[in-house]
């Protein structure tokens, strides 16, 4: 595609853990144009609201509502651009749908469902954490797909299922009728063996999944054509391909992260903070295992060597708590932007929290738990919402800096800079304090990096065979304004 060429537009369905969006992307004069068509909320719901009689604490996704929002968004997209050539879907990782007789079997459970923790010990009777890491290279997290599947096995649902599809693969199936498992997201399940690059037969058999996993496809490969009835519903008058993108949202985000060099780290900062580096091979050392790092796959067989840490979830949950309290009391709600501005004027807190603590994993009463943690550690209890926000931002910045430096060290190089992308890149205080703690420059942006990565893979897939490939990161640099933060204080990492 030449610098002056104009591509056919593509549609990106980008599903995050707290919101979703449908975007239209197109290359015009060498720059990527991204247009938001439809945005909608997402989040956990009580399973009992979808399945009466379910356990009170059980959590799920309202997957039918998400499908309705996707269809509405695509109808709006085709009304705006009738020449959309392809569709790509990315989402959060690890969660999945079970299928039986061509239909979904029950609801899609949420990764924060407490049932997962009860399944850890059961699976580890057969496979220790060290052995699992040697097989799949993944950081231990109680919501990893392998543990969720052990929970399913204990509940006897897997025996009834004929197939399993991760969330973006499920929506690809809904769009095309074709069952495929996209490679980057498959690498987050714990079921993909790094030695073979294929499903781990021993784990698959142990969990009762033999014959139930779909064929693997790589980013850029076709999934299938949009079903005729959906094409008619959306107003598409021509055949539209659904293309496998880097369907784990972090993999798409890294595609669109304009890394400055091979010695850069990235932080994809949204509900979670994914802190890591891009390598050409996994790091499966005992050091990496003990440090809690993970090896997930990216575009062109790259390895995303990263750590999954707390992100803006602590902020959004605190705001939700305060606004729920304000609504109940008839008071005016507050905004995160307002509190961040107030927090920036406060001094550096003397006592921080560990954002990775399990005490902050579940939703509900987050601000209260943050204050309790500060007080329990011997600090002065934060008095105001702005003080709580300041503690969280400072704690996140310190955590990000530490993990970025550690990822670089374990990856075999000294860190030169950090790229923060996603929603968190808009937080000037967070970006500056991360630079201060890490003592290296921070480059912020793009914000819509996941959708950008989704679109870029589709555009790359549409390139004629034998033509010049797009340099995807150069396209991002040319298309999106980036911020820069220089360390302003010589802080010591502790």
| Owner of token pair 């050539």 | 85
| Owner of token pair 């008839």 | 330
Q: Alpha-carbon distance 458 to 394, whole Å?
A: 38
Q: Alpha-carbon distance 110 to 47, whole Å?
A: 9
Q: What is the 3-state secondary structure (H, E, C) of the chain?
A: CCCCCECCCEEEEEECCCEEEEEEEEEECCEEEEEEEEEEECCEEEHHHCCCCCCCCCEEECHHHHHHHHHHHHHHHHHHCCCCCEEEEEECCCCEEEEECCEECCCEECCCCCHHHHHHHHHHCCCCHHHHHHHHCCCCCCCCHHHHHHHHHHCCCHHHCCEEEEHHHHHHHHHHCCCEEEHHHHCCCCCECCCCCCECHHHHHHCCCCCCECEEECCCCEEEECCHHHHHHHCCCCCCEEECCCCEHHHHHHHCCCCCCCCEEEEEECCEEEEEEEECCCCCCHHHHHCCCEEEECHHHCEEEEEEEECCHHHHHHHHHHHHHHHHHCCCCCCHHHHHHHHHCCCCCCCCCCCCCHHHCCCCCHHHHHHHHHHHCCCCCCCCHHHHHHHHHHHHHHHHHHHHHHHHHHHCCCCCEEEEECHHHHCHHHHHHHHHHHCCCEEECCCCHHHHHHHHHHHHHCCCCCCCCCCHHHHHHHHCCCEEECCCCCCCCC
Order of strands, sheet of 222-225, starting from the edge strand that comes earlier in the sequence: 31-41, 19-28, 10-15, 86-91, 241-243, 222-225
Pick the catalytic residue from 90, 169, 249, 436.
Answer: 249
Classify burial at 52, counting beta carbons within 10 Å of its beta carbon; exposed 0-12, middle 13-18, buried 19 or more: exposed
Q: Is 249 a catalytic residue?
A: yes
Please give the positions annotated as active site. Answer: 249
């Amino acid at each position: 595609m030449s610098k002056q060429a104009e591509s056919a537009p593509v549609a990106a369905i980008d599903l995050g853990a707290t919101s979703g969006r449908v975007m239209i992307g197109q290359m015009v004069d060498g720059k990527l144009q991204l247009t938001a068509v439809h945005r909608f909320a997402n989040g956990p719901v009580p399973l009992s609201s979808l399945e009466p009689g379910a356990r009170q604490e059980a959590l799920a996704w309202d997957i039918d509502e998400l499908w309705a929002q996707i269809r509405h968004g695509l109808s709006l997209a085709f009304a705006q651009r009738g020449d959309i050539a392809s569709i790509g879907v990315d989402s959060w990782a690890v969660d999945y749908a079970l299928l039986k007789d061509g239909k979904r079997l029950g609801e899609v459970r949420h990764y924060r469902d407490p049932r997962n923790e009860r399944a850890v010990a059961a699976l580890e009777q057969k496979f220790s954490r060290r052995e699992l890491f040697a097989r799949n290279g993944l950081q231990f997290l109680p919501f990893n797909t392998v543990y969720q599947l052990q929970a399913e096995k204990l509940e006897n649902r897997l025996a009834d299922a004929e197939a399993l599809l991760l969330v973006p693969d499920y929506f690809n199936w809904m769009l095309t009728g074709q069952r495929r498992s996209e490679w980057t997201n498959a690498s987050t399940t714990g079921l993909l063996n790094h030695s073979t690059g294929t499903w781990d037969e021993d784990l698959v058999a142990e969990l009762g999944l033999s014959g139930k996993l779909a064929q693997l496809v790589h980013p850029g490969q076709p999934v299938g054509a949009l079903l005729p009835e959906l094409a008619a519903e959306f107003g598409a008058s021509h055949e539209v391909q659904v293309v496998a993108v880097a369907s784990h949202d972090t993999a798409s985000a890294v595609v669109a992260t304009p890394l400055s060099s091979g010695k850069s780290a990235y932080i994809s900062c949204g509900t979670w903070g994914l802190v890591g580096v891009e390598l050409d091979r996994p790091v499966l050392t005992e050091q990496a295992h003990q440090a809690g790092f993970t090896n997930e796959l990216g575009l062109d067989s790259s390895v995303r060597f990263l750590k999954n840490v707390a992100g803006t979830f602590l902020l959004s949950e605190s705001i939700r708590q305060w606004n729920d309290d304000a609504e109940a009391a008839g008071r005016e709600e507050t905004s995160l932007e307002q509190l961040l501005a107030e927090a920036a004027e406060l001094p550096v807190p003397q006592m921080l929290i560990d954002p990775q603590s399990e005490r902050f994993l579940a939703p509900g009463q987050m601000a209260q738990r943050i204050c309790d943690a500060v007080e329990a550690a011997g600090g002065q209890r934060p008095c105001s919402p702005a003080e709580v926000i300041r503690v969280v931002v400072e704690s996140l910045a310190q955590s990000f800096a530490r993990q970025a430096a550690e990822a670089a060290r374990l990856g075999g190089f000294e860190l030169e800079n950090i790229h923060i992308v996603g929603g968190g890149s808009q937080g000037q205080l967070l970006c500056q304090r991360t630079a201060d703690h890490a003592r290296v420059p921070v480059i912020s942006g793009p914000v819509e990096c996941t959708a950008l990565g989704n679109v870029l893979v589709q555009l790359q897939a549409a390139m004629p065979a034998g033509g010049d490939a797009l340099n995807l990161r150069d396209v991002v640099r040319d298309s999106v304004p980036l911020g820069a933060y220089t360390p302003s204080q010589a802080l010591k990492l502790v």
